[in-house]
Amino acid sequence: MHAHQQDQTIGGRTVINRRNFIAASAAAGTIAALTTPALAAPSAITANTVLRQRGSKPRIVIAGGGWGGLTAARYLRESAPDAEIIVLERNPVFWSCPMSNKWLVDIVPTDFIMHDLYKPAKKYGYEIIQTEVTAIERDAKRVRTSHGTLDYDYLIIAGGIRNAYDAWFGDDEEAISFTRKNFPSAYIPSAEHLSLKQKVQNFEGGTLVMTLPPPPHRCPPSPYERACIIAHHFKTKKIPAKILILDPKPRVMPINGGFTMAFEELYPDIIEHVPNAGVKELDPFNKRISTAAGDFDFDDAILMPPHQACDMVWYAALIAHKPEVGPGGWADIDPLMLHAKSDDSVYVIGDCMGAISPQFGHYPKSAHVANFMGRIVATYIGQRIAEKEVTPLLPDNLCYMMVNGEPKEAISVLFEYELTGEGVVHQTQIDIDVRTEDQYEEDFRWINRTFKDFLV
């Protein structure tokens, strides 16, 4: 006989002990309707807890519910109608980094970039579970999460990037934590965007330093767009501020012409761009940065550390440590088929992808590319499940960057890809340097169209 157990309070919620519930129900006379307990009390998650039991259908697990992951889920619903599709996402809402620079200064409202994750899941008929992936055991074809394990036939890792603070601070957790809290980067959907918005809007004057991540990084033109939008805010509100861009690169790039013209013509007294200024040492406590181009003190800063593939690619042991092209820290994938070179059950899409071509390195780490990759990989997996031949598909990329707030003008950059005779992917980049109002409007048309594509 078990001793009578009290109801427990776990994490602020009262967890009703099953026996007490049954006892109470019996007392209330409702027990007759229950043949098995309707409410199973959550117990501790163990190594054996299964998040979702396997059925007989092919199962596709998508680790990451962002631009790439949700697009893949939506299109897999069409390309693999018999498959079970489960998206794992650690955030409770969808937060768009595209357009978030505009949101920092209230050009767009919060409900423009924050979306319900469950609506598209319901609309397109896939499962989405809010949980954190803690391990990926590829030999067992199993994903471990904070709520249990999930076996897969195909896994798509679409988790974006991680902030490589270790490149600056090693394992100094105090410095990392202090920097995260006080000088957030706001490059990953999280509360950092809220913090950065407050910082920008409360900035009363002085030098705001921006340390740019070295390439390849998420959305290459975005730090310059962020500088332009913040400079526009300072200009409009007549805040005596300077923005010092510490750029590890030798010049503004990409879209050197468009951004340089904007800096010089619109914000000559606000923005200063310092090239070849890779961070050597950073003291967030004393607000001092030592770079290859000199030392700088700051009043406030947006400290953006180097980017790498999200943690999940590391868990899956799919990181290219010494790749032929570009730096290590990104997923080692087949450039055309998009699955891991060493494991064709695991696909990697979006920003965490590694080098694609010796001619250009990485695809631009943009939402446009992630969305395109979601569609491509859905086609590939659908073809494989149907045992059809998989024909390689290539993306394109088109990004708009707002550079002026009055009038509202944007520039853009277009990328096209084609396969050479030798099977190498070749990139053609076209910078649209001329800032115009219609490009600003096209940006909204693009995002609204794309939101309709995979969100509701």
Partner 1 sequence: MELMTRRQALRAFVVLSAAFVCTPAMSRETLQALMSDLMDAEPAVADWLILTAPEEADNPSAVKVRVQVVPPKELGIFCEEVLLVLEKNPRPAACRFTFSSMTEPDFTTNLRFAEGQEVMALARMSDGSVVTAKAPVKLTVGGCGL
Partner 2 sequence: MTSKPRVWISNREPQVGDVVTVRAMVSHAMETGFRKSPAGEIIPRNIINRFECSFDGQTIFAGDLDTAVSRNPFIEFKFKVPGAGQLQMAWSDDEGQRIDAALEIATS
Q: Which of 7, 430, 445, 456 binds partner 2 (CB under 8 A)?
A: 430
Q: What is the DSSP string of 21-72?
A: HHHHHHHHT-GGG-SS-S-PPP----TT-BSS---SS-EEEEE--SHHHHHH
Q: Which of 290, 345, 428, 448 binds partner 1 (CB under 8 A)?
A: 428
Q: Can residue 355 be called a binding residue for partner 1 (CB under 8 A)?
A: yes
- Give the torsion sign (CA, 448, 450, 455, 456): positive
- Taking CB within 5 to 8 Å according to partner kind, which of partner 1, partner 2, none is near residue 434? partner 2
Q: What is the DSSP string of 199-237?
A: HHHH--SEEEEEEPPPSS-BSTTHHHHHHHHHHHHHHHT
Q: Which of 66, 68, 216, 374 binds partner 1 (CB under 8 A)?
A: 216
Among the listed ranges 20-28, 101-109, 145-153, 429-437, the one in contact with partner 1 (CB under 8 A) is: 429-437
- Taking CB within 5 to 8 Å according to partner kind, which of partner 1, partner 2, none is near residue 254? partner 1
Can you read off the two tokens belonging to residue 109?
A: 């409202």
Q: Which SS3 state, helix, strand or coil, does residue 421 take?
A: coil
319 CB-near residues (< 8 Å, 6+ apart): 309, 313, 328, 329, 330, 331, 332
| Stretch 256-295 residues interacting with partner 2 (CB under 8 A) | 265
Among the listed ranges 151-159, 200-208, 266-274, 354-362, the one in contact with partner 1 (CB under 8 A) is: 354-362
What are the backbone angles phi and psi of residue 379, rounded to the nearest 5°?
-65, -45
| Stretch 103-162 residues interacting with partner 1 (CB under 8 A) | none
Q: Which residues of 275-305 are buried (b: 16+ CB within 10 A; e: fewer)?
A: bebbbeebebeebebebeeeebebebbbbbb
Instruction: Report, in Å, the least distance between residue 369 CB and partner 1.
Output: 10
Q: Which of 77, 115, 362, 375 binds partner 1 (CB under 8 A)?
A: 362
Q: What is the DSSP string of 68-114?
A: HHHHHHHHHHHH-TTSEEEEEESSSSEE-STTHHHHHTTSS-HHHHE
Instruction: Report, in Å, the least distance between residue 325 CB and partner 1.
Output: 7
Instruction: Report, in Å, the least distance between residue 36 CB and partner 1.
Output: 56
Instruction: Report, in Å, the least distance between residue 173 CB and partner 1.
Output: 31
- Taking CB within 5 to 8 Å according to partner kind, which of partner 1, partner 2, none is near residue 435? partner 2
- CB closer to partner 2 out of 239 and 419: 419
Q: By the 8 A CB rule, do 411 and 434 touch?
A: yes
Give the residue from 401, 90, 64, 371 showing the smallest Cα distance to 220: 401
| Stretch 387-426 residues interacting with partner 2 (CB under 8 A) | 409, 414, 419, 421
Residues at the site binding partner 1, with contacts judged by CB under 8 A:
215-216, 220, 249-251, 253-254, 256-257, 325-326, 355-356, 359-364, 397, 413, 415, 427-431, 433
Residues at the site binding partner 2, with contacts judged by CB under 8 A:
265, 409, 414, 419, 421, 428, 430, 432-436, 438-439
